[in-house]
Amino acid sequence: MSDLFDLDFQPTTYWGPQSLSSYFGSHITGEHRRLSAQCSAYNSSEPELSVDPVLSNEERILWGRIHPHNMGGEYLPPLRSNEVEIARVILETTTLDVISIRARKSGNRIYYRVVDEYMDQEGSDRFVAKPRWSKQPLTLRQVISIIDDNGLIDEWREENFDVTDLDESLNLARADSVFYPKICGYYFLENENWRREKQILMGDEFRFAITAKDNAWRRQVVEKLKNLDVEEFEKTAINNVTSAFSKPSKLDWRTQQALLKLARNLEKAEAGRLGMEGKMFISSMAKSFRQEVDLLRKLFKQA
């Protein structure tokens, strides 16, 4: 899509003079309040909602009681000194979760970090911002790379893919930015391309073919699972997974692909340890084998 978007576009600065709409868009954490404030600034009208960067805990509770989506972004960490949000990813969850990409000016360098609303529970090292710092604002290409390298949109889309409702799956994740206005359109087209690929896979012409190498992979998976030292009560779940491997024709196409993905990842992995692709498999299997997935999370912990 590089012919449709100037991926080398680079803002002059993240600081300095800017419109009130841009200021609200890069400083207010709550998604609904942010959009409302931007709209008010654009129309030169009085804001209907609070334009404070963050709400107090009491205000957040009251605001969230009106509708769960109102909590979206409200639990992001506060901006640090000389820090602004340069882009965000919005996930269509019950509480409209938001992931924020931020830039902080220090001396002649700009430092970057990625945060979400669960940093206290899940730690601050789950996301990686590359480059970690620069002397000039990032290009659109670099911001897209941060989003894609962390799987902020594509992994979420795959994890929550609903074969019965492609339109709903299509709108599960989106990006927005006051500094990179084209990023919204970029991921809109990315989502559209993803939907077309899924439609092809679900079409009449889709056929599941197991090659000789796939059979070898599947045998390796079965052996690895059988040789695991597990408690007696866990063996039922293990047997369910191995049984699925032996009867691929009776599984829906999504589960078939997920099983093959597990086989490939286990082939690459050290004994009993999965990398990022393995974690993606576990997510993709969540709807089909809920009990087995919980077990696999315990058995194949990432180093």
Q: In what order do the strands lie in the sheet with 173-176?
A: 133-134, 109-115, 98-106, 83-91, 173-176
Say which range, 101-105, 118-122, 182-186, has the weakest mean pLDDT. 118-122
76 secondary structure, DSSP code? S
Q: Which helix (H) or strand (E) holds 40?
A: helix 31-42
Q: Which residue has the higher pLDDT, 167 or 107?
A: 107
What's the confidence (pLDDT) of residue 5?
87
49: CB partners within 8 A, 6+ apart: 32, 33, 36, 37
User: Does a cis peptide bond (omega within 30 degrees of 0) precede residue 131?
Assistant: yes
Mean pLDDT, residues 117-125 taken together: 77
Residues paired with 109 in a beta bridge: 106
Q: CA–CA separation, 231 vs 186, rounded Å?
A: 48
**DSSP per residue, 147-211:** HHHTTTTHHHHHHT--TT-HHHHHTSEEEE-SS-TTHHHHHHHHHHHHHHHHHHHHSTT------
Q: Which residue has the higher pLDDT, 292 or 272?
A: 292
What's the confidence (pLDDT) of residue 234?
57
Does the pLDDT value for residue 244 go beyond 90? no
Does the pLDDT value for residue 211 go beyond 60? no
pLDDT tens-digit readout, 183-204: 999 998 888 888 777 766 655 3
Does the pLDDT value for residue 260 go beyond 60? no
> 295: alpha, beta or left, given left = phi > 0 and alpha = psi -120 to 50?
alpha
Residues paired with 111 in a beta bridge: 104, 133
Mean pLDDT, residues 112-135 taken together: 88
Say which range, 64-68, 109-113, 162-166, 197-201, has the weakest mean pLDDT. 162-166
- Polymer length of the chain: 303
What's the confidence (pLDDT) of residue 268?
47
Residues paired with 134 in a beta bridge: 110
75 secondary structure, DSSP code? T
Mean pLDDT, residues 250-270 taken together: 51
Q: CA–CA separation, 90 vs 173, rounded Å?
A: 6
**Band (287; pLDDT cuts 50, 70, 90):** very low
Q: Which residue has the higher pLDDT, 83 or 279?
A: 83
